Amino acid sequence: MKGLRLAGFGLVLAAGVACAAPEDDHLRLVNYFKHKHADVKVADYIYGAFAYDPDAREHYDGVMAFPPYAGALAEGERLWRTPFGNGRTYADCLPDGGRMIAGNYPMFDEARGRVVTFEMALNDCRVANGEAPYTYDDAATLGVLAAYARSLSDGMRMNVRVDGAAALQAYEDGKRTFYRRVGQLNYSCASCHVDGAGNRLGAELLSPVLGQATHWPVFRAGERLETLHDRYSSCFRRARHVPDAAGSTRYNNLEYFHSYLSNGMEMKASVYRK
């Protein structure tokens, strides 16, 4: 594998189309990856770095046949089905009973003037029914609940919308975070997941930004649940940059931009990653 090429397409996109419409950003990246890795189908990027490695993909398929984290998903289902104190459930306060909706998130809430993630929607449901919200970074509650609830949208196509000036402002803020170099190593998200996608950084094969938002949370090496915001923090730390807390405005806006780039791709939540 070639080493990381850190001065490529990501920098051009960030500098040259800062005011481009979101769909322009999306199409540029799709075309970039079609050219960069012509032997990989765009639809296969939902498998992350496994799209580049047939042997690793075969291992992934084997693990997914009998996932070792089935117990965590069962706990998430239990939380999902347990009635609130008023007798209602999550299915009663989410559109379509919570099925085939996760791909619409994150979404911009005009009334609140902010991005709302799927995890926030689950907590909003709790509060609306007289329950205390879960801590955003608690894997044992909101983590496993979201893991199960997202699985109810498996097969849905990502469908994140950016409508209106305020929503576009949040999207552009997330885009700036994605392309901004930070930390002592001077890396951006794009350094690894656009310019370096398909290359190795140490022992790790770098995944492409396309498809990344389709499969969270993931279970690392068995049963360790990792949310998308956990991953953002991990990447910042690797760049030797101070991370935010899960659920911060910066992370929510980054997730908004990041998720839009996977529009049209099939969702498969709660998957194995090494």
Candidates 124, 118, 128; CA nearest to 152 is 118
Q: Is 192 a catalytic residue?
A: no
Which residues partner with 115 through β-bridges? Answer: 108
Which residues partner with 226 through β-bridges? Answer: 218
Angle at 172 (CA atoms; ends 166, 173), nearest 5 degrees: 90
CB 60 within 8 A of CB 272: yes
CB 210 within 8 A of CB 216: no
Residue 154: DSSP 8-state: T
Distance CA 252, CA 256 (A): 6
The residue count of the chain comes to 274
On the 0-12 / 13-18 / 19+ scale of CB atoms within 10 A, 11 is middle
Residue 219: DSSP 8-state: E
Distance CA 122, CA 133 (A): 8
Q: Where are the alpha helices (DSSP H) in the chain?
A: 9-16, 22-36, 54-65, 70-81, 90-93, 118-128, 144-151, 165-179, 189-190, 228-238, 249-260
Exactly one of 125, 189, 192, 235 is catalytic; which is it?
235
Give me the active site residues, please: 235
